[in-house]
Structures are given as C-alpha cells and as structure tokens.
Structure 1
Amino acid sequence: MESEHEAAVGTLRGRRIAILVQNLPVPFDRRVWQEATSLAAAGADVTVICPSDEHHPVGDFVIDGVGVNRYEAPREAKGIFGYVNEYVVSLSRMTRTFEVARSVAPFDIVHFCNPPDLLYLVAKRAKREDGSVLVFDQHDIGPELVQAKRMPLPWLFVGVARLCEQRTYAWADHVISTNESYRDIAMRRGRFIGSDVTVVRSGPSRSWASYRSTGEDWHRGRRYLLGYVGVMGRQEGIEYLIDAVKVLVAERHLDVHLALIGSGPDRGRLESLARTRGIADRVEFHGRVPDDVMKSILADADVCVNPDEVNTMNDLSTMNKIIEYMALGRPIVQFDVREGRYSARDASLYATRDNDARSFAHAVEQVLGDPALARRMGEAGRARFEEQLCWEIQAERLTTTYGRLAAERAAATAATAVGEAVPQHWIDLEASDMKRRAEA
C-alpha cells in the first residue's frame, strides 16, 4: 500500500515551487538549501531566489537540480535609516527577479522565509493572480529577536516587528515552524489551526554521524579544546563564553583553548574583549570556514559550547549548532534554555545559573574532568540525532506536507476550470485567510 509520503512524492512531480530568502544566499544557507534539494529530489521544479555575496555571484544557475536566481545584495546597513534602505533595495531587487521567474509559468507554491517578516510583499501577487499557495518558513520570531538585539527605541521597533509578523501570518496559507514553540506561536498569534502548521526542524544529514576526525590537531598545543560554531551577535552570549575561559584559565588553572567558528556584527568587539581579558592567545577566531574544516575542528573539541543567553528569543528557538554538535558525537555545555534542552537532553550539561560565566565555566570543568561522562553524553547525542533529528526525517515531513498542498491546489484549480464546486475546506481556508488579513 502506498504511504502518504510516497503519494506526496508522486504529486510533487513537475510542480513549480519558488523559495524566497533574503537573509543569506544558497547553498550557504544550509536549511533553505536542504529544503530546496529535498523538494527537487521529490520531483518538483524548484527555483530559489536569494541575494548574492562575495562567494556566491549574481546570476542564474542550476545547482544540484535546483534553479538559483541571485540578485545583487545591497551594501550592509549601518544605523536605522541604513536598515530601511537595505530592506527597500533588497525587496525591490527580489521582486524583479521573482517576477521574471513567474513570467515563465505560474508557481504552484511560493515558500518565503524570514528574517525579515517582509517577504509576503513579494509573494502576495502570485497568490492574487495565479492562485499560488503561500508557505511561510518561520526561522525566527521577529518581536522577540528585536528585543534580544537591544535595539534603540525598543517600543517602536518591537511594534513594527509585531505588525510585520501579523501581515506575514495573514497572507500565509501554511506555516513551516522549526520547533513546537514556534508552532504554538503561529497558532496563537497567527490564528492557524494545527493542520496548517508543520514542524520541520533544522539539522544536518544523517551522514554527519559517521564523520570521523581527520586527525588534525586544533588544540594549538593546549590540553583541552572548546568548540563553538554560529553567528556572532550580541544575543549569542559569546561574551559569557570568553569570560568563562578566563575563569577556567586564571582561576581553575586549566589549559584551555577556544575555537570560534563563524562571524557576525559583534566579532570585532569580541576580539577586543578577548585581548582585554588577557586571553587573546587562548581564543581563536576562525571566521567562516568550509564544512569539512568546521567538522574537523568540532570533532576535535573536548566540549562543544552554546553560550546563548537566556532570554525569550533563545528560550523559544532551536539552534542549529546544538544539532550539529550532537551529530558529531560531542558533549555539550549550555545555559538552560527550553528548546536547547529539548534538542540535546542528556547530550548536554546545563549551567545552573542563567547568563553567568562562572556557572558556565563550572559546567565545562565538570565535563572536562569526567571522560566517562563526556563519552556518554556524546553517544546519547549522536543516537538522538540519528533516530529523531537528522534532516532525512525532517525532509519526509516537508515533502509530505508539500505533496498535500500541491494536491489540494490542483483539485481546486481543476474544479474551477470545469465549473464544479470548490472543495469546502478550500473555501474555509480562503475565508480564514481573508479574516486574518483583515484583522492584521
């Protein structure tokens, strides 16, 4: 008997899907690229529209069976007016690129991602004119993200973020959430029913679990190596991590080296902080590196760390780094945030005091001092990753959902073409969408 997933794969063959992402180019944006290639592997005709960067040039390409249309990204914003200009320019260029792609043939489904919560402005014309199904892939929760960034005039920018989120929900027919916390928010703030929100978690492919170290030593002559990968912004809590290394070295007399992989707007300040704390020789900023280098560094780490500060945004968000650490079988130390604990469970030790460098250092010292504990944590994380969190499991949920959406759109289109009654659940869905748009 044909499974629901197998039926979905059959339904997706030849369906046109557009994916809109402004935050990063593909294939660099791993989640978006995994979604695109999984849908293409299921038979869909997938086009990703995204910005360029210094490593991903402007132009139209076909990569691994996926069409990639990159527009020129505006210069990085500085200040409030700079951000406004960046969004206006980027949305204008994305819209032009999308309209060219749409002129070839209508898209059955338009999948748009945040941040920012503005891409519905690009997608909504396809819904109005072509009857395209709009799917909102919610990577972040905008109001909480603004609060976590500690921006000036918080009342104003949080209000703007809430309005943009409301409008995004109002135009979406379906929401893809990265975890159950985001799903609850979509149902509560977006007023979606449960069947219109699908949880598709982020995570690497199952093959990561079979990765073995290349033997390269990243300890730089130190006894212990701590590994971190991720964005470097204020809300990532890397300041706590640097202070924790200072405690481990100066007070606990542990021979520790810290490898930081990634970059971001806070990198310069963090480099200065490491020098001020007198541990610049213990902290190595690797920047953005290829996946094979990243895996090599993290696989060599004695402990992988997630210092995300405890706040509403981080409490509700799933961090990709946690799943990557688990995939590589590394023990983890982090603050006790809800979704971080849900992901890692026994693969992690949790600092007993929130946003406290000494407490974080104590948890790291516990793992470093107990090799048997570290081994059990690593094994538990790898097993949970393979059995529940790897991308292959998430991809099946994604393609099953997309197959259902494509089938429902095809049925509604066919019924309209021959003058038959449109299925009642589509009438109900359109009425619900209209209500959300009016209330937003």
Structure 2
Amino acid sequence: MASAGKRRVLILVENLPSPFDRRVWQEATTLHANGYQVSIICPTGKGYESRYEEIDGIHIYRYQLPLEAEGAKGYAIEYSAALFHTFRLAWKVHFARGFDVIHACNPPDLLFLIGGFFKLLMGKKFLFDHHDINPELYEAKFGRRDFFYKLMVLFERWSFKTADVSIATNESYKKIAVERGGMDPEKCYVVRSGPKLDRLRVLPPVPALKQGRQYLVGYVGVMGAQEGIDLLLQAARHIIVDMGRRDVHFGLVGGGTSLNDMKAMAADLGIADYVTFTGRVPDQQLLEMLNTADVCVNPDVANEMNDKSTMNKIMEYMALSKPIVQFDLTEGKVSAQEASLYALRNDALDMARKIVELLDDPQRRERMGAFGRNRVINELEWEYEAPKLLAAYERLYSDRAPLPSALSSVAKESK
C-alpha cells in the first residue's frame, strides 16, 4: 500500500504491452522518477506474457485479448474485451495500491467510460493522452466517413469532455483537441514522443544484415494497412528490377496484421530475396538493423491521419544519425526538417528515386544524419518533453500539494 500522501497514477493502454510501448514507458518512468507511484494496465504481447510484474518500480497488470482485430466485428470484440479486463483490473489496483489519477492512452476512445466512472463516483482525476486521431484512422482503414466515423468523432469529444487535462503529441493534435474536441486550450499540453538516447544507442554496423550487398535500406514500424509497406515494396521493386540495382537490400523490422500479406507481395514482385522481414524483435536486433542501414524510410500513406501524426520512427532514425526518405507530410517535415528527403505523396517511384539519390551520395547522407542527430540532442530528446508531462500533472494537482520535485530538475532526473 502506498505511503500517506504519495501521488498515485494508473495508466491505461490498450494497443501495446508495457514496457514495449516506448512513449507510455517513458511517461511512466518519468513520473516514477519524480515521486509518483505508477501502475499500468495493458494487454499481453510477445515477450510480455506475465499477468503481473514489477519493472523498475512500476507495477504492470496485463490481460489477454482474444484476437488482433481486423474489420468492424473484430474491433468490437477486441475493445469490449479490453474494456472489461481494464475495468476489472482497475478495481484490483484500487484495492491493492490505490490511484488518484487515471491516465488513459488511446486508442480506443472508449477509456473515458472507465475514467468517467472513477471520476464521477470516487473523485479521481482523468487525464486523456491523445495518441491517435481515431476518426482519421477509421477513414484511413475503411475509406469512408459514415455513421461509424461520426461515432468516432463523438467518442473523441466525450473523451475530451471527461478529461480534466489532456496531452497532445503535436500541435496538429492540440488543434483537433481544442476545435473538434472542445478542450480548453489551457488544459491541453503538447508532449512529443521524444526518443531517449540511452536506449537508441549508436552501435557498429552488422555487415551480415546486408546479405552480401553494398547498401541497406532500413524500416521500423507496424506492418499495417496505412503504413504504406506496399508502396515501399513497389519502390524496392523499381530500384532492384527497373533500375537494375542489385546492390541494395531492405531490412523491415516490425509486426502487424499485414506482415504475411507483405511477405507474399514481396514474393509476387520477385524481390523476396532482397527483403528481410524480421517481425517484432527485441531492441538489440532493431538497433543492429537501423545502425547498419545506409538510409531509413518512412512510407506512411499520405492521408489525414498520417499528415497530422508524429511518427516515432522518424525521431528514432534521427537519433541514430540516419538520413531519411519519406512522403511529403506536414508533421513528418516538422520533425525531420533537413534530415529527410520528401517524395511526392504516395508516389512509390519518386520514393525509389529519392532512396537511390541518397545511396549514391555518401557526403549528403552524412550531413543529413548529423543534422538529425543534433536536432534530437538539442531539441527533441525526451528530456525536453518530460517537464511538459509534469506540467500537465501540476495542473491536475493544482488544488492539492505541490509536486514532489521541481520542474527545473526534471531533465537531470529523467536521463
């Protein structure tokens, strides 16, 4: 049981297990380092099967989901199960350790039901951590703005209406929170998903990952419908077959619902021998692939969802001094600036041309990589975002005791 007066937080996350979800884990460890007792409720996942464990002083409660959703029926089953188990485990945390704040990370935009219940009946505070713009995500997946799109907008608005404070990952998300969600702008804090350099270590390359070829193009991320892996494979085919560049290999790190389909597509395009799909792997293997890559890519499809979203992979590439090729997206340009070349939106051939342009210009690759690394070190690293997270909590606790440590000491303690 927590000691008297100790601040207690319960973080809810549905789409990834902890500590695999890096943003959630950085938030949790920052809060813990600043005197909070932190519990997390999340699903199980590969390598994270334990139903309960304590890691670095953080208490993690996990539940098993019935399936990885595809289609409306699948999502209904997944989210119903997630809500049931999250509510059940919230009571378990309440009796075991207690909590003052529920910190809910979407998707889905249904966790306000749990936050609202404990807020209304037990006086808990509710913080909404806005990770994804779900109406745009629905449109990206299904290509329409129908009844369910409008329902997503309604759930999103109710999440903001329930929240005492909200967190946005960038200025585009804050604008949505204020204009569409009706959130008080003074209660909406921008906390970017800055990388931590103690995790994203620069390591020697592993030549074997190039499969005997001169160059490696690296990707890390989800293998899903809106991630544009099909466009990346089309670009790879253009480079390997049409341009005759048999000196380039592609290393794709990550799992997801489209992984097997993308493997089949690579075979159909005749480039399977030039593409390594690792699936979800431990950090060490991810770092080996990215450190070996000569160029890193972000093929996210140009749509409303991706245009307004900050992709963690971009800043991870930058942290490792890698030059980037991505499509011309608003928040992608805000993050990468001169560390990236920008292909025409959803144009696989232009992406291929930009990749080859960088592969053939080692000096430019070095300049772009150095720019990205310096930008992370001086502006984007998590130490610059941690004070903003604690400022959001300061707002939550403004009618209670002062924070256990001053904001001025956050950068030092969060490293």
TM-score by length of 1: 0.87
CA distance in 2, matches of 1:13, 1:138: 28
- What whole-Å deviation, never above 9, does each CA across 1:213-248 have from its counterpart, x for those lacking one? 254531111111100000011111111111111111
Determine if the alignment matches structure 1 residue 131 to structure 2 residue 131.
no
Determine if the alignment matches structure 1 residue 44 to structure 2 residue 40.
no
- Asked if 1 retains the 8 angstrom alpha-carbon contact of 2:200 and 2:287, the reply is no
- Asked if 2 retains the 8 angstrom alpha-carbon contact of 1:133 and 1:409, the reply is no
Match of 1:302 among 294, 303, 306: 294
CA distance in 2, matches of 1:229, 1:210: 15
Helix, strand or coil at the partner of 2:243: coil
Determine if the alignment matches structure 1 residue 272 to structure 2 residue 271.
no
- Asked if 1 retains the 8 angstrom alpha-carbon contact of 2:41 and 2:61, the reply is yes
Determine if the alignment matches structure 1 residue 204 to structure 2 residue 195.
yes
Corresponding residue for residue 349 of structure 1: 341
Corresponding residue for residue 250 of structure 1: 241
Corresponding residue for residue 4 of structure 1: none
Match of 2:283 among 291, 301, 325: 291
Determine if the alignment matches structure 1 residue 146 to structure 2 residue 154.
no
Corresponding residue for residue 21 of structure 1: 13
- Asked if 2 retains the 8 angstrom alpha-carbon contact of 1:69 and 1:97, the reply is yes
CA RMSD in angstroms, aligned pairs only? 1.8
Long gaps (5+) in structure 1: 1-11, 412-440
Corresponding residue for residue 229 of structure 1: 220
Relative CO higher for 1 or 2, CA cutoff 8 Å, sep ≥ 6? 1
* Aligned-partner residue type, residue 140 of structure 1: D
Deviation for aligned residue 1:167: 1.3
Corresponding residue for residue 351 of structure 2: 360
Determine if the alignment matches structure 1 residue 401 to structure 2 residue 392.
yes
Deviation for aligned residue 1:74: 2.4
Helix, strand or coil at the partner of 1:207: coil
Rg larger for: 1
Corresponding residue for residue 240 of structure 1: 231
Corresponding residue for residue 429 of structure 1: none
CA distance in 1, matches of 2:64, 2:399: 35
Helix, strand or coil at the partner of 1:217: helix
TM superposition outliers: structure 1 runs of 4+ over 4 Å: none
- Asked if 2 retains the 8 angstrom alpha-carbon contact of 1:107 and 1:126, the reply is no
Determine if the alignment matches structure 1 residue 101 to structure 2 residue 93.
yes
Determine if the alignment matches structure 1 residue 31 to structure 2 residue 23.
yes
Deviation for aligned residue 1:365: 1.2
- Asked if 1 retains the 8 angstrom alpha-carbon contact of 2:136 and 2:305, the reply is yes
* Aligned-partner residue type, residue 150 of structure 1: F
CA distance in 2, matches of 1:242, 1:322: 19
| Equivalence map 1:184-223=2 (5 Å) | 184-208=175-199, 211-213=202-204, 215-223=206-214
Helix, strand or coil at the partner of 1:205: coil
| Equivalence map 1:55-204=2 (5 Å) | 55-104=47-96, 106-150=98-142, 154-204=145-195
* Aligned-partner residue type, residue 288 of structure 1: R
- Asked if 1 retains the 8 angstrom alpha-carbon contact of 2:8 and 2:37, the reply is yes
TM-score by length of 2: 0.92
Deviation for aligned residue 1:86: 2.0
* Aligned-partner residue type, residue 174 of structure 2: R
- What whole-Å deviation, never above 9, does each CA across 1:277-316 have from its counterpart, x for those lacking one? 1111011101111111111111110100001111110000
- Asked if 1 retains the 8 angstrom alpha-carbon contact of 2:206 and 2:289, the reply is no
**Higher mean displacement: 19-28 or 209-218:** 209-218
- What whole-Å deviation, never above 9, does each CA across 1:354-390 have from its counterpart, x for those lacking one? 1111110111111111111100000000000111111
Deviation for aligned residue 1:401: 2.3
CA distance in 2, matches of 1:275, 1:67: 44
CA distance in 1, matches of 2:24, 2:361: 38
Q: How many residues align?
A: 398
| Equivalence map 1:291-330=2 (5 Å) | 291-330=283-322
The change in CA–CA distance for 1:292 and 1:181 in structure 2 (over 3 A counts) is same
The change in CA–CA distance for 1:215 and 1:55 in structure 2 (over 3 A counts) is closer
- What whole-Å deviation, never above 9, does each CA across 1:136-169 have from its counterpart, x for those lacking one? 0011001000011126x75122122111111111
- Asked if 1 retains the 8 angstrom alpha-carbon contact of 2:226 and 2:301, the reply is yes
Determine if the alignment matches structure 1 residue 376 to structure 2 residue 364.
no
CA distance in 2, matches of 1:193, 1:170: 9
**Higher mean displacement: 316-325 or 29-38:** 29-38
Q: Percent identity?
A: 46
- Asked if 2 retains the 8 angstrom alpha-carbon contact of 1:261 and 1:289, the reply is yes
Higher helix fraction: Structure 1 or Structure 2?
1
The change in CA–CA distance for 1:77 and 1:314 in structure 2 (over 3 A counts) is closer
* Aligned-partner residue type, residue 266 of structure 1: S
**Higher mean displacement: 288-297 or 316-325:** 288-297
The change in CA–CA distance for 1:224 and 1:248 in structure 2 (over 3 A counts) is same
Helix, strand or coil at the partner of 1:407: coil
Deviation for aligned residue 1:193: 2.6
CA distance in 2, matches of 1:78, 1:306: 23
* Aligned-partner residue type, residue 77 of structure 1: A
**Higher mean displacement: 188-197 or 134-143:** 188-197
CA distance in 2, matches of 1:240, 1:56: 31
Deviation for aligned residue 1:81: 2.5
CA distance in 1, matches of 2:401, 2:119: 14
Long gaps (5+) in structure 2: 403-415
The change in CA–CA distance for 1:334 and 1:198 in structure 2 (over 3 A counts) is same
* Aligned-partner residue type, residue 346 of structure 2: N
- Asked if 1 retains the 8 angstrom alpha-carbon contact of 2:68 and 2:257, the reply is no
- Asked if 2 retains the 8 angstrom alpha-carbon contact of 1:331 and 1:374, the reply is yes
CA distance in 1, matches of 2:198, 2:98: 36
**Higher mean displacement: 335-344 or 51-60:** 51-60
